[in-house]
Homo-oligomer: A and B are copies of this chain.
Amino acid sequence: MANPTPSVQLLLTGNEIMSGDTVDSNSALIARRLGELGIPVLRKVTVGDDRALLVRELAAMAQEAELVIVNGGLGPTVDDLTAEVLAAVAGVPLAEHPGAITHLEQWCARRNLQLNAANRKQAMLPAGCQLVDNPVGSAVGFELAVGACRIICTPGVPGELKKMLDLIVADLAQRWGTGSEHSVLRLQTFGLGESSAQQIIADACPDWPADVELGFRAGAPQMEIKLSVTSRAALPARERCRAQLEALFGDHIIGEGDIQLAEAVLDLLRAQGRTLTTAESCTGGLIASMLTRIAGSSDAFHAGFVTYDNAIKAAVLGVSEDTLREHGAVSEAVVRQMAAGALARADADYAIAVSGIAGPGGGSPDKPVGTVWLAWGDADNIEALQLCWPVERTLFQTMLAAAGLDMIRRRLLGLNSQPRYFAQRRVG
């Protein structure tokens, strides 16, 4: 049986967070990782690197919460105050921790550095604390109980926090969690809005089980659907919910976990031994960039063309100058020729081509900003589609790049459908 979940608060420190120079993503990461264990965060407080403020907040939290995670302030400089603040709240002295010294010595040795006084400060920890290993950085984490509250201090560097959270979460899972890493199932989707997904599910599943929490995390371009359960007993119900979601909009589901559209497309291409090329006008290289961000993309993506200008569409991709004159660059005929030209020049199996008006300038009454033609397919069958998606320029580029990738994903899966997103944006 799982224990009742503890009351958790977060204390975040750092002048750069307080001033807004840095957007704090660490607290969201901590909350998500704890959330996967079914442990909610009740409250979080952020203050700058100010000893009196930090002591006040931490002392108040220690009275109220069963678990406090402190983030930031573990570094070697004078404005890194976390260790001395925790010592003050716990009423213990600071002392050089032998395990921390060993960690620092090893860290320095791997870098051919001498352990200096600034580094040594990072080993001055509240007496009686336990270390939490930092597999990547010099600052160890540490924890100490203050009354009935367990306080864990973690580094502010996101990469270091992430690694340390793996250790902390594993430990919490044993003490408090459901004991199952699978308590949250995350499905990545493209082409569904949050409110319409919610409505569809509400209409189709009036008997949605109470022990499977449904959540959404809308992003651009993807939306995540979360199914959370807080006990193992609810896992079968969660699987039934997943099956219902797949029946409702399985073609919109890219995959599980953190998978990105470009990754799913590359996986399908690799599995089928095929290659993809791109001919981009208004997305300006973004599709190529989304693909090549993924390690190993060179297996299936060899070439991309950014043909921003009409003369280049003709010279590089062989789009006919007559067609350009007659139909304009944002037209079905041109985008089809772009796709065909890219297939030929790159000797690729599949192509995506996009030509549109990203704005803010360049629109006309006939073809307003947001007008775009998309073509995709192979040498035997190129399909094309016109949309109107009048949003801010970079969002337009992001959504259209994803739309192109999604049409190839559907093609590779043999699906004959289009994202629901398109319904209100299709022209003609």
* A residues lining the B interface (CB < 8 Å): 16-25, 27-33, 35, 40-48, 53, 57, 215, 217, 224, 226, 278, 280, 282-289, 291-293, 295-298, 301-309, 311-312, 315-316, 345-347, 358-361, 393-394, 397
CA–CA, A25 and B292, complex, Å: 28
A108 shortest CB reach to chain B, Å: 17
In the complex, the answer to whether A284 meets B289 with C-beta atoms within 8 Å is: yes
A37 shortest CB reach to chain B, Å: 12
In the complex, the answer to whether A302 meets B309 with C-beta atoms within 8 Å is: yes
In the complex, the answer to whether B35 meets A28 with C-beta atoms within 8 Å is: no
**Known A286-B289, A309-B298; contact A32-B20, beta-carbon cutoff 8 A:** yes
Which among B25, B31, B33 is the interface contact of A18 at CB below 8 angstroms?
Answer: B31
In the complex, the answer to whether B308 meets A298 with C-beta atoms within 8 Å is: yes
- Give the number of times this chain occurs in the complex, counting copies: 2
- Chain B residues, CB < 8 A from A29: 20
A311 shortest CB reach to chain B, Å: 7
In the complex, the answer to whether A24 meets B28 with C-beta atoms within 8 Å is: yes
In the complex, the answer to whether B47 meets A43 with C-beta atoms within 8 Å is: yes
11 intermolecular pairs with C-beta atoms under 8 Å apart: A18-B31, A19-B35, A19-B40, A19-B215, A20-B30, A42-B48, A43-B57, A285-B285, A293-B397, A304-B305, A315-B345
In the complex, the answer to whether B32 meets A28 with C-beta atoms within 8 Å is: no
A121 shortest CB reach to chain B, Å: 17
Which among B18, B45, B288, B306 is the interface contact of A40 at CB below 8 angstroms?
Answer: B18
Which among B53, B293, B307 is the interface contact of A393 at CB below 8 angstroms?
Answer: B293
Identity of the chain B residue whose Cβ is nearest the Cβ of A29 in the assembled complex: B20
**Known A19-B32, A293-B397; contact A345-B316, beta-carbon cutoff 8 A:** yes
- Chain B residues, CB < 8 A from A57: 43
In the complex, the answer to whether B47 meets A35 with C-beta atoms within 8 Å is: no
